[in-house]
Structure 1
Amino acid sequence: MTDELLLTFYGDDFTGSTDALEGLADNGVRAVLFMTPPTAEDLERFDDLDAVGVAGVSRTMTPEEMESELPPVFEALAELDAPIVHYKVCSTFDSSPKVGSIGTAIDIAQDVYDSPFVPVSQGTEVPHGRYVAFSDLFAEQGGDVYRIDRHPTMRDHPVTPMHESDLRRHLGEQTNRPIGRVDQRFLDDYEAAETELEETIREDEDEIVVLDALNTDHLATIGRLLWTRATETSGQLFAVGSSGLEHHALVSHWDEIGEIDRNATYFEKREPADRIAVMSGSASEETATQIDWASDHGFRLVSIDTERLVDPDEKSDARAAAVEEALAVLDEGESVVLYSARGPDDPAIDATRAAFEEHGAEESLESYLGRQQGIMFREILERSGVTRACVAGGDTSSHVISELDLDALEAIAPVAPGGPLCRAHSTTEFDGLELALKGGQVHTRNDEFDYFGVVRQGGIDRTD
């Protein structure tokens, strides 16, 4: 079975991993996302897999942590022998030499794969509004397109702000490997793109190649380029990029050559749920507005007392208070949103950080709060019997998943680009749980801020 895999991938955070999973499922590609590298026994539980992914958290790791974490994962994926191994990164490419270093990931991967070259493809016109022109990354927000170093959110990102839009220069701060590009002038014609790629690799001796993309036609060209290289040369091709590789590039070419049928999808709207539970650790403005929408549309809100939660003497009582309040709402047959912050200007953020630092904890505040919210959410799901749930926030999602002891996720219904509804696979009572993981910037395609409501409704019907 593993000989038939088209792709394996590693997501550098949990919500990004489900984004890639969605891109495959939405195009008729049967894929499963594992929480740890799967064994042969794990794979035997699933029939007719086309792709296998592993959800990771390297986006928040130091290079030293990545050097410990990534080699065994890459080695396990290598054993599955798919032609392409995709290191899935956020479409905004936010990273730094000290946190989430994509260059470090490439260095580690090349020790495992010795890929003939490492393509970097960040463009994904639809659904995320990301464009690469002459190696500069642009991102859409609120209907406007910004160069990434001037993007309202990414220029001031609290952990990895983007101060450079040229992906070659940005990546060059993270690795010493030579970096070239194939720019938009060549991507309208496959033969021209193939020739330029060959010259970049062979003549310029560039090991990493940044690929421009302004539209889906460019992505289709990239998909053909990568698949041809991966299947006509020895070894596996290690590629870095956003979910545009799944949403458009590779699936377009696979469909053209008959490897998949993009119309044969099982990715469809589910029945509405009477009630759902939402755990939000996202402090984005987008999520705050979605919480406001939920409050106005039948959801009850529970504010987590994070100042008490970071106090070693108070944390148990703070957790219990939030859990009991949430359970009371669910017992009344209503949906609930628990949240740690309501937007970036919530005064609780600074107050909680000050209290956390006062107690002298060794881990980061984000990691600590994520674990605490994971503990709370597990108890809420166990005691309430809720069968559909949602987590908002990339780091929060990773910690909640860890607390739930899930083995794998499979995308089952569209909700919003990058935030599908998934089915959990587990040996615990959470097997079959329907779960949506939402990054801070994920939102539905309409003019409403109704993400949580759409999850409750079972997703969207794309035939309407």
Structure 2
Amino acid sequence: MLLGCIGDDLTGSSDLANTLLKGGMTVTQYCGIPSGPAQADVEAGVVALKTRSIPVADAVRQSVDALEWLIAQGCRQFFFKYCSTFDSTPEGNIGPVAEALMDRLNAPYALVCPAFPGAGRTVYQGHLFVGDRLLNESGMENHPLTPMTDADIRRWLTRQSTLPVGHVPYSDIARGAVVAGQAIADAVETGARLIVLDAVDDIDLLTIGAAAVDTVLVTGGSGIALGLPANFRSAGDLAERGVAVDGVSGPGLVLAGSCSNATRKQVALYRESHPALEIDPDSVIAGTQTVSQAMAFLRANWDEAPLIFSSADPDAVRAAQKRHGVQKSAEAIEFFFAELAGAAVDAGIRRLVSAGGETSGAVIQGIGCEALRIGPEIDPGVPALRVEGRELAITLKSGNFGTEDFFEKALKMLAGEV
């Protein structure tokens, strides 16, 4: 294995795996830390964790455990993947995990770049934009678990980390890999350990990738991985095998647990033409809305690829959190979707669309998946996936990703209808 990757959620990990696959690497995504060694032909291994919103100490421990496994596979470079909207709190988990990985690797510095221009995420003058809006004006300020109230990644990261934070501006990145590499070296020379990089276009990400050829630890969104495979190719290390993933026929189901603006629009469009059941956190906690009831709804609409969702507007989410607490509200929905996903697959669902990082983590847990083969891209950052050893095709979509008709497109792609 050449490149070892750690993702802080399932959807972002599949996004990263998709990027590396398009770059020509043979990729396997692992759902948690594998119990045994990787297959010999894996060039990039992505260990998908569910650490974005858990306590800092737990996130650090799990991430370092994943790193130990990747080190044992012989990886030469390491990548810590988090969301392109830098989902975190002032306490963590991005900064503390990055610090712990640096310490284990004895890395003098780490690069930090959440940019993903293909999905509208850019970094300029250290500030993260979503489209033409600053991060804290994009809707992410209303995230129920990780509200992003500051677009300055340098400032946000400084709150999370004990290490000095540096910055390489766009003016240096735009001048190419040699200048960018020297700017990184200059930042390290002045004492920076976590170095935030500007990027407004895919070309910038390729530049950063080339500049990072000798960097032990890279962190960011999947976009920064665009340029990493080329370094291994230039060294003659890639087998260029190519990967084909077949679609799966059979009943479909959409599960949506994200409250992001994009997912709410996708839910609104899809339910215009498909049966839909809304899951209410209050009712789930009270025990008046159950998985058995949801399964009855699914069976009644078996051939219509129904939607089961919990994607309330931000005010409703905040009200539920106030009544029950943030953790209890989130866990109630996650446990619900985990149990529902397992029951649905056991009943014969063969195409499964999951929207939302926390929801997707719950879905993977519910269906008992250990590894995923990466298939064709549905929308930027969202590939079709095939569960290893099973007749089951899924996709794991980050909340803010995908066009409004994503659910319909995804179900067709999972069936092999390109």
- Fold match by TM threshold 0.5: yes
SS at structure 1 position matched to 2:160: coil
The 1:166–1:65 alpha-carbon spacing in structure 2 relative to 1, beyond 3 Å, is: same
Q: 2:37 aligned with 1:58, yes or no?
A: no
What is the distance in 2 between the residues matched to 1:71 and 1:338? 35
User: Match of 1:165?
Assistant: 151
Identify if the C-alpha distance between structure 1 residues 84 and 353 changes in structure 2 by more than 3 Å, giving closer, same or farther.
same
Q: Unpaired runs of 5+ in structure 1?
A: 231-236
Following the alignment from structure 2 to structure 1, what is the Cα–Cα distance between the partners of residues 352 and 300?
Answer: 16
Given that 1:319 and 1:376 are in contact with CA atoms closer than 8 Å, whether structure 2 keeps it comes out as yes
Shift of 1:304: 2.9
User: Residues 86-105 of structure 1: matches in 2 within 5 Å?
Assistant: 86-98=79-91, 100-105=92-97
Match of 1:234 in 2: none
* 2:107 corresponds to 1:115: yes
User: Are the structure 2 counterparts of residues 96 and 308 from structure 1 closer, same or farther at C-alpha, using a change threshold of 3 Å?
Assistant: closer
Contact 2:353 2:411 in 1 (8 A): no
Query: What is the Cα deviation at residue 186 of structure 1?
Result: 1.8
**1:53 shift after superposition:** 0.9
Question: Which of 373, 381, 397 lines up with 1:410 in the alignment?
Answer: 373
- Indicate the residue corresponding to 1:371 in structure 2: 335
Distance 1:285 1:190 in 2: 36
Distance in 1 of aligned mates of 2:35 and 2:266: 39
Deviation at 1:439, TM superposition (A): 1.8
Amino acid at match of 1:63: V
Tell whether 2:72 aligns with 1:72. Answer: no
Given candidates 243, 259, 262, the residue that maps to 1:266 is 243
**Cα displacement string for residues 397-440 of structure 1 (whole angstroms, at most 9, x for unaligned residues):** 111211211111121121112221101126xxxx2310111121
> In 2, distance between residues paired with 1:138 and 1:351?
28
Alignment of 1:10-409 (within 5 A): 10-41=6-37, 43-44=38-39, 48-98=41-91, 100-125=92-117, 127-140=118-131, 145-149=132-136, 151-187=137-173, 188-202=175-189, 204-227=190-213, 229-230=214-215, 237-246=216-225, 248-255=226-233, 258-260=236-238, 265-266=242-243, 273=249, 275-297=251-273, 299-312=274-287, 314=288, 318-330=290-302, 333-344=303-314, 349=317, 352-353=320-321, 356=324, 363-383=327-347, 385-409=348-372
Report whether the alignment pairs 1:458 with 2:413: yes
Q: How far apart are residue 217 of structure 1 and its match? A: 2.4
Q: Sort the Cα spacing of 1:261 and 1:136 in 2 relative to 1 into closer, same or farther, 3 A.
A: farther
| SS of the residue 1:296 aligns to | coil
Give me the whole-angstrom Cα distance separating, in 2, the residues matched to 1:8 and 1:85.
5
Asked whether the equivalents of residues 14 and 56 of structure 1 are also in contact (C-alpha less than 8 Å), the reply is: yes
In the alignment, is residue 419 of structure 1 matched against residue 389 of structure 2?
A: no
CA contact (8 A) 2:284 2:332 kept: no
- Under a length normalisation based on structure 1, what TM-score does the superposition of the two structures give? 0.82
Q: Is the 8 A contact 1:409 1:424 kept in 2?
A: yes
Q: CA RMSD in A?
A: 2.6
- Contact (CA 8 Å) 1:272, 1:457: kept in 2 or not? no
**Corresponding residue SS for 1:420:** strand
1:220, 1:249 within 8 Å by CA — same for their partners in 2?
A: yes
Distance in 2 (CA, whole Å) between partners of 1:62 and 1:321 is: 33
In the alignment, is the contact (CA less than 8 A) between 1:274 and 1:334 conserved in 2?
Answer: no
> Counterpart of 1:104 in structure 2: which amino acid?
P
Summarize the Cα distance change of 1:433–1:148 in structure 2 as closer, same or farther, 3 Å threshold. same
Residues in 2 aligned to 1:353 and 1:217: alpha-carbon distance in whole angstroms: 42
In terms of mean alpha carbon deviation, does 14-23 or 253-262 score higher? 253-262
Looking at structure 2, the residues matched to 356 and 193 of structure 1 have their Cα atoms a distance apart, in angstroms, of: 48
Report the residue type matching 2:66 in the other structure.
Answer: V
Deviation of residue 274 (structure 1)?
Answer: 5.2
> Which SS does the other structure have where 1:173 is aligned?
helix
- TM-score, structure 2 normalization: 0.91
The Cα offsets for residues 289-315 of structure 1, whole Å up to 9 and x where unpaired, read as: 222322333x22123354332125x46
Q: Secondary structure at the match of 1:93?
A: coil
8 A contact 2:263–2:400 mirrored in 1 = yes
- In the alignment, the residues of structure 2 paired with residue 350 and residue 172 of structure 1 have an alpha-carbon distance, to the nearest angstrom, of 27
What are structure 2's unaligned runs of at least 5 residues?
none
Cross-structure match for 1:233: none
